Amino acid sequence: MDVQHRKPRVAVVFGGRSPEHAISCVTAGSVLGAIDRDAYDVVPVGITRQGRWVLAADDPTRLAITDGTLPAVPESGSALSITTDPTARGEIVVAAPGEVPRALGEVDVVLPLLHGPYGEDGTIQGLLEMAGVRYVGSGVLASAVGMNKHYMKVVLAGAGLLVCRHVVVRPGEWERDRSAVAASVASIGWPVFVKPARGGSSIGISRVGGPDDLARAVELALEHDPKVLVEEAVAGREIECAVLGSRDGPPQTSVCGEIIVDDTHEFYDFDAKYVDEEHVTLAVPADVPEDIAQEVRRLSAAAFTALDCEGLARVDFFLRADGSLLVNEVNTMPGFTPHSMFPRLWAASGLDYPALVDRLLSTALARSTGLR
């Protein structure tokens, strides 16, 4: 059937193999509740922690945090796959154990609500490119660069944006010669932040005050990624800006917001993000002078363009006391519950949550497959 003659079918993909599995499920719960069912057919697709694709329940309540328990995609669902044959145009096939595979039909657009590796990093985007299926958000390159805190800095700096001083610890380097790594880290000056190169939700990140605590922090980061980044600790306010992109014109930017974490937390860590939310204020709009706000928006659009982002991104900055702005990171699939910064920035800029979801889907449906 042709797209013109029926509602576009959206596969909402969530869960996944990264440590941000549960956060992705929470996001999917909100999005499933917000998609206009008169305009779209929805197929909820869960990816289990082990990486199996399963047909998920179209039930937002199952994907909420209940009594402090984080949601997950059950390993038991019927296995499902997207045909990688591009002439099949994104046909989804469900195979229950012992049954003949049943075709669920073609998918017109995929909404990959995945955070972290195997989702936000270009891998699922590559799969969808091979399958010739449209999807929301950045393509392979921007997703991969945005996920990799090392290459993100290379690309941003190449476009003339400021990033903090840092040292890359490549796979095996720490194990081979930890004193050489410690010496180059010391050249940045203390304190430092130690991070998995491809992480998210602050998982595996530590603030390190001096050389004695470096080993523990590097080893924690290595549990999440064989590649580690060590950065100078930037003294500054955390300012964020949301970007929407389409083929029709330059990227659009939202008002700016600020993350204000009280002093019970050393930085915006996992607990501050998702557990002790009362210790964090998301100030929207950020209380900054108008010229700074305009500069944040200009730099956000520049970062979006530098990485070849598509669809959406949130660009995070450090604003130092002297007014300089360093890009901390570009998130190609930012947190997306109605309470998250990205939707709140758009709500404050005149686009509410359901309208934002619709905007992302219609932008993705309008773009072509293949090289763009």
> Which of 14, 53, 135, 268 touches ligand ADP (CB under 6 A)?
268
> CB-based contacts of 199: which residues, under 8 Å, 6+ apart?
19, 116, 149, 205, 221, 224, 225
67/263 with CB nearer ligand ADP: 263
Q: At residue 262, what is the residue type?
A: D
Most distant pair of Cα atoms in the chain: their distance: 66
Least Å distance, CB 321 to ligand ADP, is: 14
- Beta strands of the chain (E only): which ranges? 9-15, 41-47, 53-55, 79-82, 91-95, 102-106, 109-112, 134-135, 166-169, 192-196, 206-208, 228-232, 237-246, 249-261, 280-283, 312-319, 325-331
Residue 286 to residues 192, 251, 255, Cα–Cα distance (Å)? 26, 20, 8
Nearer to ligand ADP, 129 or 231 (CB): 231
Interface residue with ligand ADP among 72, 267, 285, 348 (CB under 6 A) is 267
Minimum CB distance to ligand ADP smaller for 295 or for 316: 316
Site for ligand ADP in 150-179 (CB under 6 A): 164
CA quadruple 298, 303, 308, 310: dihedral positive or negative?
Answer: negative
Tokens 């604003």 locate to 319
State the pairing for strand pair 228-232/166-169: antiparallel
- How would you classify the pairing of strands 237-246 and 53-55? unpaired
Rounded-to-integer distance, Cα 196 and Cα 219, Å: 10
Q: Which of 129, 238, 295, 310 binds ligand ADP (CB under 6 A)?
A: 238
Cβ-defined contacts of 158-161 (< 8 Å, 24+): 158/306, 159/302, 159/303, 159/305, 159/306, 160/302, 161/299, 161/302, 161/303, 161/306, 161/327
- Which one, 202 or 362, has the nearer CB to ligand ADP? 202
Q: Given the rule CB under 6 A, which of 169-177, 233-241, 278-286, 305-313 is the region that contacts ligand ADP?
A: 233-241
The rounded distance, in Å, linking the Cα atoms of 32 and 61 is 10
Contact region with ligand ADP (CB under 6 A), list: 66-74, 103-111, 229-237, 291-299: 229-237
The C-alpha atoms of residue 72 and residue 24 are separated, in whole angstroms, by 9
Using CB positions, name the residue nearest to ligand ADP. 268
Q: Which is closer to ligand ADP, CB of 20 or CB of 108? A: 20
**To the nearest whole angstrom, how small is the minimum distance from the Cβ of residue 273 to ligand ADP?**
8
Q: Should residue 334 be labelled a site residue for ligand ADP when binding is judged by CB under 6 A?
A: no
Residues binding ligand ADP: number (CB under 6 A)? 18
- Looking at beta carbons only, is 95 or 261 nearer to ligand ADP? 261
Which residues from 189-208 bind ligand ADP, rule CB under 6 A? 193, 195, 199-202, 205
Q: Which of 328, 332, 337, 363 binds ligand ADP (CB under 6 A)?
A: 328
Residue choice 120, 129, 225, 231 for contact with ligand ADP (CB under 6 A): 231
Task: Of 367, 335, 357, give the one whose Cα is nearest residue 37.
Answer: 357
Tokens standing for residue 343: 């939707």
Report the C-alpha gap between 369 and 357 in whole angstroms.
20
Closer to ligand ADP by Cβ: residue 43 or 163:
163
Rounded-to-integer distance, Cα 154 and Cα 145, Å: 9
Bridge partners of residue 10, in order along the sequence: 42, 109
What track of x and - describes contact with ligand ADP for positions 81 through 100 (by CB under 6 A)?
--------------------
Pick between residue 225 and residue 238 the one whose CB is nearest to ligand ADP: 238
CB of residue 136 to ligand ADP, shortest distance in Å:
20
Distance CA 151, CA 205 (A): 18
Least distance from ligand ADP to the Cβ atom of residue 271, Å: 12
Closer of 129 and 238 to ligand ADP (Cβ): 238
Please select the residue that binds ligand ADP; options are 173, 240, 295, 329, rule is CB under 6 A.
329
Candidate segments 136-144, 155-163, 227-235, 292-300, binder of ligand ADP by CB under 6 A: 227-235
* Residues within the interface to ligand ADP (CB under 6 A): 164, 193, 195, 199-202, 205, 231-234, 238, 267-268, 316, 328-329
